[in-house]
């Protein structure tokens, strides 16, 4: 079990004797600022005559567009001609060469770039978490078959994959078949397994235990995560103006009652905004299953086996998993391929659905970012018999002030899944580790945000600021092993609120992990302005049990703040009585890591670490000291600190504490080195890090 603790500390960095000064009124420099905004709406329109053939040669004057009944002025109209005959005039090359195929992102079109003109945009998306191994093999083979034998010159394809961590783009849109086939070859069959759903009904296999954990909650979040990943993929495709088709390979997608409806609607709305149509393909193909399941699942138990309710529940679950695929296609203008063994046919029908079309753009007369639905109607001014296929409407953008609670939560989840970090807020972080037993390590995480980055608001007469935190820890295989989600409401009095710009906010949390390589990604959002900051860091927890040449030691924490726990502002009090004790909390006081490692000469530096003697039969005395180097010159060294007492545990943990007076050192940059010696065992350990001393 992974346990977690969370603390928020407000750091007061006012100089001694400083007094509160009233805030100065903003200067009136006589400058008047005017702001305005516009919103460009892009529609793709397929125009066919009564015989089903595309109509060419239309201009902006031939179209009439209304939005909520109000006429709109067309700014540009461009025709995209697909599958041109061999003798057609080739499209001229762009003025600047297109960049090479890019991994990891969808490159937006620079102004004036025509690389996607007269091209069909197809994106193949593999949801590995929803497909068992046989279905993954069929999906990959079908994509390979299409690329080799059915891909046309007008087709531009992008490959995307979701394996439970984040949406990965294997290829930007390209017509290079060899490059696409190489990317498919890099996908590992069996990747993304472990997210299989078990329906909490009569079709559930009997595990042989009297009591077990209900899988309903896991299913709800797993389905939301799959839909959110689709939403992320859609937003990546939304950087291009052309009409896009997303071919979605999955072994069904089952909603859990009404719990997933909000995320389903958000995914659909994002697809409509981004001009993306879903073409789901059920990778299971035509299924003729046994009433109580095949040999890949256990037999259900209870009376449902004999009453028929188990077989009925199994059939209903299968039907619901296909209903969701159908809904995604129907709500976005696509088509689902269900109960068909030739999966490549689903890619072909997405290919054939996009014929020559027009791209029309206009600036809406309703630029308000209120998030409301705008109904769009497009007709031809002269030909009333033509059939037009276009997006019937769109949802306007939203300013952060208009976000609902669900919108804010989805924004954080989307930002967490994005490959590119959002850096609107400045964040510093420190990750340490302390050994708890032979297997586990406690990992305290400290984040610091400058107070000047946060906005203050006045609600109910009290000034406060709200900060949202969300994060996850992944192992070296990309699997999420722990996460954190906190909403912090910092209430400030009038005396301290004005000083927020001078002091940082420090947020502390902690995890219990095993030795290994990890990546931590944490986002912080100012809930008043919507600004988000991201911090990503890779860290390694060594296996100190294998350390035999040197003294095993923990991380070294440098601090200038020792806070009484009664004065700390706790934002999440863990009710678990068995929660591991934070080694930075001792005697009712908490040592706050100095994340930036900038120290004032007017304050003492606190140094804390732990040494371990797991193989010693008795407590062995240790000697430790701290040294400051400026370049190659030793500037200062503390007297050796003999330590003869430790904790009575199996690790024989020896806490090492220093209080270093910095007044004797000149301001500047130093290297701080901590040395630990074991005279009896003739072993040593060294730790070094740069620090900055300010006047």
Residues 167, 157: Cα–Cα separation, whole Å = 16
Please give the residue that has the higher pLDDT: either 352 or 102.
Answer: 352
Is the model's pLDDT at 5 over the cut of 60? no
Q: Are residues 674 and 621 in the same domain?
A: yes
Q: Are residues 559 and 689 in the same domain?
A: yes
Q: State the residue for tokens 């190659």.
A: 632
User: pLDDT tens-digit profile of 430-459?
Assistant: 999 999 988 999 999 988 888 777 655 545
CATH number, domain containing residue 329? 3.40.50
Bridge partner residues of 660 (DSSP): 605
> What pLDDT score does 606 carry?
93
Residues 232, 242: Cα–Cα separation, whole Å = 18
> What pLDDT score does 313 carry?
74
> What pLDDT score does 297 carry?
63
> What pLDDT score does 582 carry?
82
User: pLDDT tens-digit profile of 546-587?
Assistant: 888 899 999 999 998 887 765 544 444 443 433 457 888 887
Residue 496's pLDDT band (cuts 50, 70, 90) = low
Q: Are residues 483 and 557 in the same domain?
A: no
The domain boundary, picked from 353, 371, 393, lies at 353
CA distances from 337 to 127, 144, 227, 245, 522 (A): 16, 18, 18, 14, 39
Which tokens in the block code for residue 657? 């504490």
Percent of the chain scoring above 70 in pLDDT: 77
Do the domain assignments include residue 237?
yes
**Average pLDDT value for the chain:** 79
The domain boundary, picked from 332, 353, 374, lies at 353
Q: What is the mean pLDDT of residues 243-252?
A: 91
> What pLDDT score does 650 carry?
84
Q: Are residues 526 and 643 in the same domain?
A: no
Residues 324, 347: Cα–Cα separation, whole Å = 19
Q: What is the 3-state secondary structure (H, E, C) of 341-396?
A: CCCHHHHHHHHHHCCCEEEEEEECCCCCCECCEEEEEEEECCCCCCEEECCCEEEC
Q: What is the mean pLDDT of residues 47-67?
A: 89
Do the domain assignments include residue 575?
yes
Q: Are residues 495 and 552 in the same domain?
A: no
CA atoms within 13 A on the CB side of 430: 19
Number of domains in the chain: 3
CA atoms within 13 A on the CB side of 336: 22
Q: Are residues 501 and 486 in the same domain?
A: yes
Bridge partner residues of 45 (DSSP): 358
Q: Are residues 500 and 579 in the same domain?
A: no
Do the domain assignments include residue 5?
no
Q: Are residues 203 and 231 in the same domain?
A: yes
Is the model's pLDDT at 352 over the cut of 70? yes
**Spatial contact of 621 and 645, defined as CB atoms under 8 Å apart:** no
Residue 46's pLDDT band (cuts 50, 70, 90) = confident
Is the model's pLDDT at 147 over the cut of 90? yes
The domain boundary, picked from 514, 546, 578, lies at 546
Q: Give 205's DSSP letter.
A: B
For the ranges 80-84, 99-103, 651-655, the lowest mean pLDDT is seen at 99-103
User: pLDDT tens-digit profile of 629-658?
Assistant: 998 899 999 999 898 888 878 888 999 999
**Spatial contact of 533 and 427, defined as CB atoms under 8 Å apart:** yes
CATH number, domain containing residue 430? 2.60.40.3880
Is the model's pLDDT at 304 over the cut of 80? no
Residues 380, 496: Cα–Cα separation, whole Å = 64
> What pLDDT score does 516 carry?
94
Is the model's pLDDT at 263 over the cut of 60? yes
CATH number, domain containing residue 627? 2.60.40.2550
Give kind and range of the element (H or E) at residue 640.
Answer: none
Highest averaged pLDDT of the listed ranges 47-56, 289-298, 380-389, 632-641 = 632-641
Is the model's pLDDT at 467 over the cut of 60? yes
Strands 155-162 and 120-127, sheet pairing: parallel
**Spatial contact of 171 and 180, defined as CB atoms under 8 Å apart:** yes
What's the chain's length in residues? 695
Residue 208's pLDDT band (cuts 50, 70, 90) = very low
Is the model's pLDDT at 112 over the cut of 70? no
> What pLDDT score does 306 carry?
62
User: pLDDT tens-digit profile of 413-428?
Assistant: 878 877 667 888 888 8
CA distances from 519 to 168, 193, 482, 541, 558 (A): 17, 20, 11, 11, 22
Q: Which domain holds residue 154?
A: 121-171+198-353
Q: What is the mean pLDDT of residues 508-524?
A: 92
**Spatial contact of 8 and 487, defined as CB atoms under 8 Å apart:** no
- C-alpha radius of gyration, the chain, whole number: 31
CA distances from 414 to 224, 236, 408, 411, 420 (A): 12, 11, 10, 5, 11
User: pLDDT tens-digit profile of 396-416?
Assistant: 777 887 888 877 887 888 788
Do the domain assignments include residue 87?
no
> What pLDDT score does 391 carry?
79
> What pLDDT score does 30 carry?
57
The whole-angstrom distance between residue 637's C-alpha and the CA centroid of its chain comes to: 45
Residue 215's pLDDT band (cuts 50, 70, 90) = very low
Instruction: List the one residue out of 84, 115, 85 whose CA is nearest residue 101.
Output: 115
Asked whether the whole model's pTM tops 0.75, one would answer: no
Which tokens in the block code for residue 404? 């609902």
> What pLDDT score does 7 carry?
43
User: pLDDT tens-digit profile of 89-99?
Assistant: 444 444 434 44
Q: Are residues 347 and 204 in the same domain?
A: yes
Do the domain assignments include residue 588?
yes
Q: What is the mean pLDDT of residues 531-536?
A: 88
> What pLDDT score does 281 carry?
94
CA distances from 215 to 128, 221, 227, 256 (A): 20, 10, 18, 11
Order of all β-strands in the sheet with 40-48: 74-80, 357-363, 40-48, 387-389
Q: Are residues 506 and 435 in the same domain?
A: yes
Phi, psi of 663 (to 5 degrees): -65, -25
Please give the residue that has the higher pLDDT: either 364 or 89.
Answer: 364
Other CB atoms within a 10 A radius of the CB of residue 116 amount to 16
Q: Are residues 524 and 619 in the same domain?
A: no
Query: Which residues have C-beta within 8 Å of that of residue 645, sequence separation ≥ 6?
Result: 619, 654
Residues 674, 684: Cα–Cα separation, whole Å = 11
Is the model's pLDDT at 248 over the cut of 60? yes
Residues 234, 278: Cα–Cα separation, whole Å = 10
Q: Are residues 581 and 541 in the same domain?
A: no
Is the model's pLDDT at 181 over the cut of 90? yes
């Amino acid at each position: 079990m992974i346990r977690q603790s969370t603390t928020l500390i407000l750091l007061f960095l006012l100089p001694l004797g400083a007094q509160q000064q009233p805030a100065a009124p903003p200067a009136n420099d006589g400058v008047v600022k005017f702001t305005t905004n516009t919103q460009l709406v892009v529609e793709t329109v397929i125009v066919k005559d009564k015989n089903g053939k595309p109509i060419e040669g239309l201009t902006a004057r031939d179209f009439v567009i209304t939005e909520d009944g109000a006429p709109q002025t067309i700014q540009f109209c461009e025709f995209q001609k697909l599958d041109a005959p061999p003798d057609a005039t080739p499209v001229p090359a762009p003025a600047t060469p297109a960049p090479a195929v890019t991994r990891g992102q969808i490159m937006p079109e620079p102004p004036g770039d025509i690389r996607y003109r007269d091209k069909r945009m197809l994106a193949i998306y593999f949801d590995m978490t929803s497909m068992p191994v046989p279905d993954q093999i069929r999906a990959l083979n079908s994509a390979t078959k299409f690329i080799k034998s059915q891909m046309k010159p007008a087709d531009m394809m992008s490959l995307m994959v979701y394996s439970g961590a984040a949406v990965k783009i294997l290829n930007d849109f390209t017509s290079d078949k060899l490059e696409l086939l190489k990317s498919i070859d890099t996908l590992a069959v069996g990747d993304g397994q472990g997210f299989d759903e078990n329906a909490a009904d009569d079709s559930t296999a009997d595990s042989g235990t009297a009591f077990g954990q209900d899988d309903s909650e896991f299913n709800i979040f797993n389905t939301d995560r799959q839909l959110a990943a689709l939403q992320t993929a859609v937003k990546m495709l939304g950087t291009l103006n052309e009409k896009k088709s997303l071919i979605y390979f999955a072994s069904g997608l089952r909603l859990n009652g009404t719990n997933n409806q909000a995320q389903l609607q958000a995914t659909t709305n994002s697809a409509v905004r981004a001009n993306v149509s879903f073409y789901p393909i059920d990778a299971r193909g035509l299924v003729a299953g046994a009433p109580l399941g095949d040999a890949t699942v256990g037999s259900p138990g209870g009376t449902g086996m004999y009453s028929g309710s188990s077989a009925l529940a199994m059939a209903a679950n299968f039907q619901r998993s296909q209903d969701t695929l159908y809904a995604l296609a129907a709500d976005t203008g696509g088509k689902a391929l269900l109960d068909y063994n030739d999966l490549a046919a689903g890619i072909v029908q997405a290919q054939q659905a996009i014929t020559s079309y027009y791209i029309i753009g206009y600036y809406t007369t309703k630029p308000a970012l209120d998030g409301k639905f705008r109904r769009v109607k497009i007709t031809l001014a002269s030909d009333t018999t033509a059939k037009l296929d276009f997006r019937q409407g769109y949802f306007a953008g939203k300013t952060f002030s208009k976000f609902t609670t669900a919108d804010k939560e989805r924004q954080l989840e989307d930002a967490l899944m994005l490959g590119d970090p959002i850096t609107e807020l400045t964040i510093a972080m420190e990750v340490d580790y302390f050994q708890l037993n032979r297997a586990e390590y406690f990992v305290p995480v400290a984040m610091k945000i400058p107070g000047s980055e946060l906005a203050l608001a006045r609600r109910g007469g009290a000034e406060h600021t709200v900060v949202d935190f969300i994060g996850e820890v992944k192992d070296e295989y990309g699997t999420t092993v722990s996460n954190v989600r906190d909403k912090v409401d910092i209430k400030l009095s009038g005396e301290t609120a004005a000083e927020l710009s001078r002091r940082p906010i420090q947020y502390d949390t902690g995890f219990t992990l095993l030795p290994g390589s990890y990546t931590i990604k944490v986002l912080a959002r100012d809930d008043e302005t919507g600004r988000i900051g991201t911090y990503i860091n890779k860290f390694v927890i060594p296996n100190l049990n294998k350390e035999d040449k040197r003294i095993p030691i923990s991380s070294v924490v440098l601090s200038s703040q020792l806070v009484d726990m009664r004065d700390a502002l706790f934002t999440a009090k863990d009710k678990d009585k068995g929660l591991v004790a934070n080694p930075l909390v001792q005697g009712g006081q908490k040592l706050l890591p100095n994340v930036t490692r900038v120290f004032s000469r007017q304050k003492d530096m606190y140094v804390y670490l732990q040494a371990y003697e797991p193989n010693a039969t008795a407590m062995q005395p240790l000697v430790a000291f701290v040294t400051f180097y400026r370049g190659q010159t030793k500037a200062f060294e503390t007297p050796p600190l003999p330590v003869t007492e430790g904790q009575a545990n199996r690790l024989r943990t020896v806490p090492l504490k220093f209080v270093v007076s910095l007044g004797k050192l000149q301001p500047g940059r130093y290297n701080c080195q901590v040395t630990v010696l074991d005279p009896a065992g003739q072993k040593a350990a060294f730790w070094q890090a740069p620090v900055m001393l300010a006047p």
